[in-house]
Amino acid sequence: MKHRIKPVAVAVAIALSAFAMQQVQAQTTLGEVVVKTSKIRDAATPDEVGSTEIAAQHAITRDTASLLRDVPGVHLYGAGGISSLPVIHGMADDRLRITVDGMDFISSCANHMNPPLSYIDPTNVAKIRVFAGVTPVSVGGDSIGGTIIAESAPPQFAAPGQRSLIKGEIGTFFRSNNNAMGGNLSATLANEFFSINYSGAIAVADNYKAGGNFKTTTATGRPGHTLPLDEVGSTAYKSLTHTVGVALRVDNHLLEAKLGYQNVPYQFYPNQRMDMLNNEQKRVNVRYLGQYNWGALDGRVYYEAVDHFMNFGDDKQLVYGTAFNGMPMSSRGRTLGFNLKGDIDLTADDLLRVGAIYQHYTLDDWWPPSGTGAMSPLEFQNINNGKRDRLGIFAEWERRFGSQWTTLLGTRYEHVETDADNVHGYGNMMGGQFTEAAAFNARGHKRTDDNVDVTALARYTPNNMLDLELGLARKVRTPNLYERYTWSTWSMASIMNNFVGDGNGYMGNMDLKPEKAYTASFTLDLHAADRQWEMKATPYFTYVDGYIDAVRLAPGTTTSNQFVVLQYANQSAHLFGVDFSGRAVLAKTSFGEFGVRGLMNYTRGENKKTGDELYNIMPLNGKLTFTHQYDGWSSAIELVGSARKSPVSSVRNEIHTGSYFLTNLRTSYTWKNVRFDLGVENLFDRLYSLPLGGAYTGQGMTMGINAIPHGIAVPGMGRSVYGGVNIKF
């Protein structure tokens, strides 16, 4: 089944573009809110993806997580078309702290189909900061990997003496492989003291086609529905996002409120048994930012409501016996959060950061009855009235010693409490539901964790061509509600609880303890005094006590070519690796500036208790990009490669993937306030498998644990030509 933008939507986009072209010359100088920062150079320097880099990807992707693909040490778990899960040094999803405009979102889905970065469209992102490895406690908490901070543009005001400010932006894009189309629109109206802004985006795509001679298994989904042989099932999506912001500025004080709404009518998943058939998020975000003689104060309160629905999409079988409605699954998440941070200038060389957080999260995950057979007569309560509360405080001291040394020392304490009510299954004898629900209900469910993080960083700059950074950290994460409170070993139920995309079934474990990670990293940054060239290397090592891995529920089973049922269990693990990155200006001529940039990453993870490999570790990989800039033209030839994925996790029967080498071409032209983009991804239409894409479960009889073939990795997209235009007025 195809999903396309209606002609009327294209007509509206063209009409708005024409209006915007008339406003190109009306660009007004902006007055922005500026809050002074400390003169101390930060000891921790995150990688930053800025507005220029983000604008270059507007026509390539509508998946905000993929904006990070040029950050050393960052990769992506494959998922839906707009919902990839970032990975930092082998740790992903809830092991990372990910904030969107200061809000900590939690995936309210048994398959984590609604991760934090899926709630902001790339066209609404102004910058993303990535703290890989050792993370300051002021931006960490309840995570053992790094931190990703995504921010939309700050409110804009008219310049002093300027009567009013009216500005906006409109854009559209198209990609050939999956007929992806969409557009974005933003507008701001402001004076010196008050600002109001709207931003919205729409994106829609069909299933994509793999490269080369990929052939699917021709399994069918809905009656009469058969995929073309080269089509990757369950990869279509549609998303609509809207944000309205108002802000008031008085002297050095800013009060800002944002209302956000997102609706995803459908987003299909090639590595999950289910598809997202509706996801609605509503959010309110209120912030105060003030500058005082002693420093700065930043406070925020936010509320998020998520209503999520899953069932089988077009490519998956819908009818099972009497269950003509498939297997409907619903979840409801509610989050109330409060963040407060103060930056206190103790002296010219000393900065103290202090803060507190509170987050209250509730989750209900239930599966309505379907038919008169195995999925009846009651609803299946996967998680009933789940609760996860966090209360934390932190203090962080940053000090400059002369012109060469900067140090940071911080500690953070968090009290995390989880709980869930009693449950029941569908109310029949299938899969031992009565027995397992009774065993779950007989136990106390409340769990309380007291977590302490400690971070120490030192930066040494002996001259203007060298920076050295050493970091040590202890970080703690409490298990999420799905890891602790999902309770059924029944294969049909357990395979619906899977947020890693490996096709297996998972059961929770109320006895799980928090993960405690001990990390050491070192960064060597060698560069020219004017940064015309730079080379950076970051080796790292992490030991995780209580690492939440998986064990088979049938001890002694050795099957290696089927999907299995697993249970979460605390074990121990270590991860280590190195990131290399660099760039250089090769030549400046009358024909423009020629440059090169590249990166290479290596990560290895091992379960120390079993000797098994950790799941979904990206193999050795790299990227080399040759760039050219001339007047308004910016072009690049990008070469992307990965080694074979081996070894793999044996307990999960993880799938090997082969090595590959891809070529991408892109160019853009900027004329005044208009930007045009054109490019080709996977120029030679190579067939390759996504190393972190998981198992291909995107079609057929996915409700049966082994009713679909095992051993097929999700293939990447074949050749795709894309184009886009963006106009500022």
482 falls within a domain: yes
Inter-CA distances, 456 with 46, 378, 446, 478, Å: 15, 53, 33, 22
Q: How far apart are CA 106 and CA 97, in angstroms?
A: 10
Inter-CA distances, 663 with 56, 313, 584, 625, 638, Å: 17, 32, 20, 10, 6
Copy the structure tokens of residue 241: 């996002």
Instruction: Kindly indicate the confidence band of residue 512, based on its pLDDT and cuts at 50, 70 and 90.
Output: very high
Q: How far apart are CA 319 and CA 218, in angstroms?
A: 18
Three-class secondary structure of residue 130 per DSSP: strand
Q: How far apart are CA 213 and CA 230, in angstroms?
A: 7
Q: Which residue has the tokens 């573009």?
A: 17
Q: How far apart are CA 548 and CA 50, in angstroms?
A: 34
pLDDT above 50: residue 288: yes
pLDDT above 70: residue 133: yes
Q: Taking residues 412-434, report their average pLDDT.
A: 97
pLDDT above 70: residue 501: yes
**177 touches 184 (CB < 8 A):** no
Per-residue model confidence (pLDDT) at position 419 = 98
pLDDT above 90: residue 17: no
- Domain limits for position 295: 7-728
What is the CA 55 to chain-centroid distance, rounded? Answer: 18
Q: Taking residues 573-580, report their average pLDDT.
A: 98
Residue 647, preceding bond cis, omega within 30 degrees? yes
Where do runs of H (alpha helix) occur along 196-279?
Answer: none
Do you know the residue count of the chain?
A: 729
In whole numbers, what is the pLDDT of the chain averaged over residues?
93
1 falls within a domain: no
Nearest Cα to 339, choosing from 286, 295, 412? 286
**CATH number of the domain that residue 592 is part of:** 2.40.170.20
pLDDT above 70: residue 576: yes
pLDDT above 60: residue 276: yes
Instruction: Kindly indicate the confidence band of residue 30, based on its pLDDT and cuts at 50, 70 and 90.
Output: very low
Three-class secondary structure of residue 325 per DSSP: coil
pLDDT above 90: residue 21: no
Instruction: Kindly indicate the confidence band of residue 634, based on its pLDDT and cuts at 50, 70 and 90.
Output: very high
Instruction: Kindly indicate the confidence band of residue 5, based on its pLDDT and cuts at 50, 70 and 90.
Output: very low
Q: What pTM value is reported for the model?
A: 0.94
Q: Phi and psi dihedrals of 431, rounded to 5?
A: 65, 20
DSSP state for residue 497 in the 8-state scheme: S
714 falls within a domain: yes
Give tens-digit pLDDT for 151-181: 999 999 999 989 999 999 999 999 999 999 9
**Adjacent-strand bridge partners of 582:** 535, 598
| Count of domains for the chain | 1
592 falls within a domain: yes
**581 touches 73 (CB < 8 A):** no
- Range from 26-35, 298-307, 343-352, 390-399 carrying the lowest mean pLDDT: 26-35
Three-class secondary structure of residue 24 per DSSP: helix
2 falls within a domain: no
DSSP state for residue 483 in the 8-state scheme: H
Nearest Cα to 701, choosing from 495, 449, 441, 446? 495
Inter-CA distances, 563 with 204, 225, 411, 449, Å: 32, 25, 42, 33
Nearest Cα to 693, choosing from 78, 76, 63? 78
Copy the structure tokens of residue 337: 């959060």
Amino acid identity of residue 531, one-letter, is R
133 falls within a domain: yes
**122 touches 150 (CB < 8 A):** no
Q: How far apart are CA 282 and CA 260, in angstroms?
A: 6
Per-residue model confidence (pLDDT) at position 19 = 35
Give tens-digit pLDDT for 63-99: 999 999 999 999 999 999 999 999 999 999 999 999 9
The region, left, alpha or beta by phi > 0 then psi within -120 to 50, assigned to residue 60 is alpha
**646 touches 617 (CB < 8 A):** no
Per-residue model confidence (pLDDT) at position 218 = 63
Per-residue model confidence (pLDDT) at position 222 = 83
The percent of residues above 70 in pLDDT, for the chain, comes to 94
Instruction: Kindly indicate the confidence band of residue 1, based on its pLDDT and cuts at 50, 70 and 90.
Output: very low
Copy the structure tokens of residue 312: 């089988």
Copy the structure tokens of residue 51: 């507005």
Q: How far apart are CA 687 and CA 681, in angstroms?
A: 13
**Residue 413, H or E segment:** strand 405-419
